[in-house]
Structure 1
Amino acid sequence: MVTVGQKFPDFKLEACVSLEHGKEFKHISLEEYLKTGKWLLIFFWPKDFTFVCPTEIKSFNDAYGEFRDRDTELLGASTDTAFVHLAWRTHHADLKELKFPMLADAGKKLSGELGILTTEDQVALRATYIIDPEGMVRWVNINDLNVGRNIEETLRVLDALQTDELCPCNWKKGEDVLHV
């Protein structure tokens, strides 16, 4: 399993990026995001057309501006195809106005390299990765399939990582860091 302190695996995947006819899909690579010099947050969900997943995707979308304020790009991903992503976005009210791409890891190459595929169904676990501008994994969080993520905690950890300081338990942006 890829973990903290390791390089995030290189990828080039098709993504659903829009509902506009003729502009629905685009190939996206890690390399293009690393060139921006920004942080990157990639989160995986098990399957489209399920129940917990859209609540998380909507929450990330609602917090999109907060991630952008932290110089961080967002990518969502599952092992569904880009066409399934498009169908889901088209038919689910909470997903129509997404501000970030939905990566299609249908070949399960990236999920497999990350070590986040379930044994039985071979779908991605609810994994979240914070990747620094050099491509290093700085935080990983993996939830059971039945439990959604906490976006506020993800933002708190991102804030702490971006201080490049020692941050105590339950630290929040604006609080004192540890001085040793």
Structure 2
Amino acid sequence: MKNVILSVGSKFPEFKKTAVVSLEKGKEFYDISSEEIRNSGKWMVMFWWPKDFTFVCPTEIAEFNKHYQDFADRDAVLIGASTDSEFVHAAWRRDHDDLRGLQFPMLADTSKSLAEELGILEANEKVAYRATFIVDQEGIVRWVSLYDLNVGRNVKEVLRVLDALQTDELCPCNWQKGEATLTA
């Protein structure tokens, strides 16, 4: 059976998952829910990686972290996710220099239920593909990108698309924030 990837215009699934939010003892974990994010009135950018303690994944996670404030400035909640457990996430954060200072939660989808609902679970290894979802304040998916397991994504492109979506106008090819939009 093939995955059906949740696409643009779909309602993002309801979820409540444990995430790593800190390395401070006793404050490492927090339960994040779709309801909490929706109630914040903010956009959500959720990006997925296949496995902790791998090679391409930390380059992407570190790059998203470098741009954390850019997402915050756009009223977007940034969440990283994989099918690894919160304990593996915490160990990886403690172990990897580029991950210790993360400013966004690392969501643990150990049941793989959210990845499955999103249609991003790789068939053989049952790990998430490199997927990114931009979800508006109403919980509607406005953009999806999906990469092969071996290829890292472009964080600046995620920001560019978020900027374009937030204009609620027609944006031409290669449009950048501050440029003119199109009139129909």
TM-score, reference length from structure 1: 0.99
Match of 2:22 in 1: 18
Structure 1: give runs of 5+ residues left out of the alignment: none
Instruction: Show the counterpart of 2:157.
Output: 153
| Equivalent residue letter for 2:117 | E
The alignment-based identity, stated in percent, is 64
Q: How does 1:62-77 map to 2 (within 5 A)?
A: 62-77=66-81
Residue 134 (1) aligns with residue 138 (2):
yes
Question: Is 1:32 aligned to residue 50 of structure 2?
Answer: no
- Once superposed, what is the RMSD of the aligned Cα atoms? 0.5
> 1:113-124, aligned counterparts within 5 Å?
113-124=117-128
1:4 matched to 2:1: no
Aligned equivalents of 1:91 and 1:73: distance in 2? 25
Q: Distance in 2 between matches of 1:174 and 1:100?
A: 27
Matched, 1:167 2:171: yes
Provide runs of 4+ in structure 1 moved above 3 Å: none
**Counterpart residue identity of residue 128, structure 2:** A
Please state how far the C-alpha of 1:115 moved relative to its aligned partner: 0.6
Instruction: Count residues with an aligned counterpart.
Output: 180
How many Å separate the matches in 1 of 2:112 and 2:19?
A: 14
State the one-letter code of the partner of 1:105: D
Per-residue CA deviations over 1:7-33 (Å, capped at 9, x if unaligned) read 000000011110000000111101101
> What secondary structure does 1:111 align onto?
helix
Residues 1:53 and 2:57 are matched in the alignment? yes
Amino acid at match of 2:6: V
Q: Please, what TM-score do these two structures have when normalized by structure 2?
A: 0.97
- What CA distance in whole angstroms lies between the structure 1 residues aligned with 2:18 and 2:178? 39
Distance in 2 separating the partners of 1:12 and 1:165: 33
